[in-house]
Chains A and B, each alone.
Chain A
C-alpha cells in the first residue's frame, strides 16, 4: 500500500512536471499572483499548489461527495413526505410531497453530471431521469404490481419523470391516489428504490473509490481527469444539450439532420403543462449548468474557490480561454433567464452547444486530455 502511494505520489509529481514543463513560467511552486484569479486554499489561507492531485482531491471532497450527500438527504426527505402522504392522502400531504420532490430533483441535477465511476455503475441517470415517461407502461406496471426499477424495460416508467406524471399529470391527484392502492404502492416503492440508489452512491464514493480517484493522476486516457472531463462532456451533450433542450426543439446534434420538434419531450413536462410555462424545466436546466460551472471553477461545498480546471488553465497562461469559458457559462444563464419556454428560437441551444466546442477544441487540447469518444471496435 505504501509502495503504491509512493508510486502515485511520484507519478503525480511527474504529472506536475509535465504540465509545468509546458508553462511559460520556470518556477512551478508557488504561483505569484498577478491578478485576482488566484488559486486559494479554502481553509487556512495557505496557498494550495495547482496540481492534479489537489484538483482531484477538491473534486471528490468538495463536489462529488457533497452533491451525493445532498441528494441522499433530499431523497430521504422525499421518502419521508411520501410516507406521510401514504398515511394521510390529502392536499396538505401532496403539497409537502411536491415540495420535497422539487428539492430532490434539483439535488439530482448536480449528481447526474458526474456520470462516471460509481454513478455510472449504479446506472443512476438511466434509472432516474429518462423522459418522456411512457404513461401506458407506467399504468401497466402499477396494475400488474410487479416492477423492477433497475431494468432497461422499465426505464421509461421510472424516477423523476414517473413522479412528475403521478404528481402533476392527472386532474385530481389526491383522489387518484386515494382510490388506487396499487398506485400508492408503486409510488412508495419507486421512491424507496430511488433513495436506496442515493444511499448506494454515497457509500461507493466515500469508499475505496475516493482514494483511487484521487490517486489516479495524470491526464492520459484512464486517468481521473480524463474520465471526469470526458464523461461530464458526454453527459452534457446527451442529457443537457440533447434531452433538456435539443430534442424538444428538433435538434439532436449540431451536425445531425433535424428531427421533428416535440415540446412534450421537455423535462418535468406535466408540471410545466399544469403551470402553463417551462419555468420548472428551465430551473432544472440551470441547476445542471451550475454543476458544470462548479466543476470547472472548483467551487467547494461552502462556496469557496478550490483548485480546478480554471487553475490549470491560468497556470498555463491560458487567461483568454478561461475568460471565454466563464463568459459562455454566463451567456447560457442569460438565455435561461430571458425565457419561459424551452422551445422558440435556437439561441438557448446554441449557447449550450458553444461550450461543447470550447471544451473539445480548446480546453481538452490545452490540458492534453484526449477525446475518449473514439471508435470502439465493439462486439
Chain B
C-alpha cells in the first residue's frame, strides 16, 4: 500500500496559514487520479495488479521483473536477416516467405562464386581503372543523339530535323557536344542481326520521324478522335495523330528495340563478338587498338554495356529515385526493380550491373598477350551473359505492363493515349531479341490484342490502329498474353 502524504500536509498547512475554511475531514475536496483513494488523510493506491505484475510508484501495474526468466542468449547478436533461436542461441536466416525467383532465376546464382585468382573484382564498371584500357564512345554518342532528338519531340512546332538527325546528315545535325561526331543511329538499325541486311526497319523509323515533325504543326489543335493535335498529361502537351498515336513515344520507346536492345543482346553479346567464337579472341595482339579499347572481346562487352545507358560508376543509384543514374533502358529497368525484388527476390538493375561488372572482370583477368595465353572462364561469362539478356528483357516487359496497367485505369483519354502509345513502343521493342523469352511472333501476337493488324508485322502497322477506340478489355487481353512469356508479371504492381 502506497501512501502519499504530501498533498494532505499541504492542505493542512494551507489551512493554518491562510485560514481557509477548513473542516476536520482531511479527505474532503481532494480530487484524485484513478486508482488512488483518500483514507483518514492518507492518499493510498487502491489498485490491485495481476499475477506477475507489481504497482509502480504512480499507481500503475508493471511487469514484475522477478517473474521474468533471464534471456540465456543475451550475449548473442544476430546480423541483419537473421533471428535468434531461443533454445540453441543460433542465428537462423529469415527465409523470405513466398518469394520465388521463378523465371527470373539467375544463371550466375546457379553457377556460384567465380574465382578469378588474385584479380580483385571492382564494385562498379571501372572502365578507367581496373578494367582499362576500354572505351564505348560510339554508344555514348548515340545515346546523346537520342537524348537530343527526344528533347525536341514536344516542340510546338518541331523545327529540329529528326529524320536528318537519325542519319546525322553531314555529321552536323546536333547541338549538344556529346552528340556530335562521326556516328549516327540509323547505321546501327540497318545492321539488325536477323533482318539480314534488310533496311526496312530503319526506313520505317525515318518515316515515323517525318510524320512526327509533320504532325507537330497542329499544335494549336486539341486532339480528338479523327483530329490530330495536342493532348495534355499533367503539365505536358504532346503531339498525337488523328488516330490518337503519340508519335514521340513510339519513336523513342520503339527505338529501344532495334538500336539499344538489339545491338546489346543480338550483336555485341553474341558468341562471335564478346563470346568465345570471336576470331580476334581476348588478347592484346589481335586487338585493333589494345591501348585504347582493350582486347576485341572486351571491347564488344563494353559496347554492349554502353547501350544499357547506365552510369558506370553509380548505377543503380538508390538515392536518385527518378532514374537511378540510368538513361533510357537503364532508367526504366531501375524504375521497376523494386517491384521485381519484392515479387521475385531479383533486383533487375542491380543484377544487370553485377553481371556486366563480373563479365568484364572475367575478360580482364583472362586476357592474354597472344591467343595462346588467354584464360577466360567461359562458363562463368556465359552465365553473366544469360543474366544480362534475361533481366534487360524483363525490364522492358515490366515497362510494357506498367503502361498497360496505367492505360487501363486511366480516366482521361489524354492519359490513356499517352500511356498506350508507350506500351506499344515497349512491346514492339521486345521483338528484337532472337534469343529472348518472347519471340518476335509472340510480341506481335500481344500487339494484335491491342489492335495491331495481323497482316502487317512492321512498325507501320501502328498507323492502322485507332488508339481512341482501344478498349480496356483489349488491353487486359494484351496483359494476359504478355504474362504468358513473363509468368506472374500480370500480378506485380509495376
On whether the beta carbons of B370 and A222 are closer than 8 Å, the reply is yes
Report if A320 contacts B (CB, 8 A).
no
- Interface presence of A212 (CB below 8 A): yes
Residue in chain A with minimal CB distance to B142:
A379
Of B136, B138, B286, B373, which one neighbours A227 at CB under 8 angstroms? B286
Q: Which of A8, A216, A376 is close to B285, meaning CB atoms less than 8 Å apart?
A: A216
Q: Mark A359-379, 1 if CB is under 8 A from B, else 0.
A: 000000000001010001111
User: A223 — which chain B residues lie within 8 A by C-beta?
Assistant: 285, 370-372
Cα–Cα, bound, A222→B183 (Å):
28
Is B458 located at the chain interface by the 8 A CB criterion? no
Of all chain B residues, which has the CB nearest A218?
B372
Q: Could you tell me which residues of chain A, from 1 to 54, have a CB within 8 Å of some CB in chain B?
A: 4, 7-8, 11
Q: Which of B228-236, B273-281, B394-402, B486-494 contacts A (4 or more CB under 8 A)?
A: B273-281
Decide if B291 is an interface residue (CB 8 Å cutoff). yes
Considering only residues 278-298 of chain B, those with a C-beta below 8 Å from chain A are: 279-281, 283, 285-288, 291
Q: Say if the beta carbon of B246 comes within 8 Å of chain A.
A: no
Bound form: Cα–Cα A312–B137 in Å: 42
Q: Taking the complex as formed, is A161 at the interface, i.e. its CB lies under 8 A from any CB of chain B?
A: no
Which parts of B180-201 form the interface with A (CB within 8 Å)?
183, 191
Any A CB within 8 A of the CB of B303:
yes
Q: A11-B372, A227-B286, A379-B136 are in contact. Are A222 and B267 (CB under 8 A)?
A: no
B467 to chain A, nearest CB (A): 37
| A379, B281: Cβ atoms closer than 8 Å | no
Total number of A residues with any Cβ neighbor in B under 8 Å: 24
Bound Cα distance A217, B372 (Å): 8
Q: Roughly how many angstroms separate A8 CA and B280 CA in the complex, as a whole number?
A: 19
- CB pair A379–B139 under 8 Å, yes or no, is yes
When the two chains form their complex, are residues B138 and A226 in contact, meaning their CB atoms are under 8 A apart?
no
CA distance A313 to B199 in the complex (A): 46
Q: Are A8 and B281 in contact (CB under 8 A)?
A: no
Q: Say yes or no for B369: interface residue by CB 8 A criterion.
A: yes
Which residues of B (123-168) have their CB < 8 Å from a CB of A? 135-139, 141
A222:B280 contact, CB within 8 angstroms: yes
- Pick the contact of B137: A117, A221, A377, A379 (CB < 8 A): A379
The distance from the CB of B279 to the nearest CB of chain A, in whole angstroms, is 5
Q: Are A377 and B273 in contact (CB-based, < 8 A)?
A: yes
Bound CA span A216–B371, Å: 8
Q: How far is the CA of A95 from the CA of B453 in the complex (A)?
A: 84
Please give the distance in Å from A110's CB to the nearest CB on chain B. Answer: 22
How many inter-chain contacts with C-beta < 8 Å in the A-B complex?
A: 62
Residue of B nearest to A211 (CB): B369
Cα–Cα, bound, A217→B373 (Å): 10
Of B141, B273, B281, B372, chain A has the most CB atoms within 10 Å of the CB of B372
B281 touches A376 (CB 8 A): no
Q: Whole-angstrom distance between the alpha carbons of A78 and B303 in the complex?
A: 45
Partner of B369, one of A7, A212, A226, A370: A212
For A83, the chain B residues whose CB sits under 8 A away are none
Instruction: Known contacts A216-B369, A377-B273; decide if A222 and B283 are in contact (CB<8 Å).
Output: yes
Distance, CA A378 to CA B137, complexed state (A)? 10
Q: A224 to B368: give the CA distance in the assembly, Å.
A: 13
The answer, among A121, A377, A379, for a CB contact under 8 Å with B183, is A379
Question: Is B286 within 8 A of A222, CB to CB?
Answer: yes
Q: Determine which of A7, A121, A370 lies in contact with B372 in the assembled complex, contact meaning CB atoms within 8 Å.
A: A7
* A220, CB-defined interface residue at 8 Å: yes
Question: In the complex, which residues of chain B have a beta carbon less than 8 angstroms from the beta carbon of A121?
Answer: 291
Residues of chain B within 8 A (CB-CB) of A221 are: 279-281, 286, 371
CB-contacts of A219-255 with B (<8 A): 220-224, 226-227
Q: In the complex, what distance in Å separates the CA atom of A217 from the CA atom of B370?
A: 8
With A377-B273, A379-B137 known to touch, is A218 a contact of B288 (CB < 8 Å)? no
Question: Which positions in B face A, CB cutoff 8 Å?
Answer: 135-139, 141, 183, 191, 267, 273, 279-281, 283, 285-288, 291, 303, 369-373
Report 15 cross-chain contacts, Cβ distance below 8 Å, ordered by A residue.
Answer: A7-B372, A8-B372, A216-B369, A216-B372, A217-B372, A218-B372, A221-B286, A222-B280, A222-B283, A222-B370, A372-B286, A377-B191, A378-B138, A379-B135, A379-B138
* With A222-B281, A378-B288 already in contact, 14 other A-B pairs whose C-beta atoms are closer than 8 Å: A7-B372, A121-B291, A216-B369, A216-B370, A216-B371, A218-B370, A218-B371, A222-B280, A223-B285, A223-B371, A224-B370, A377-B267, A377-B273, A379-B137
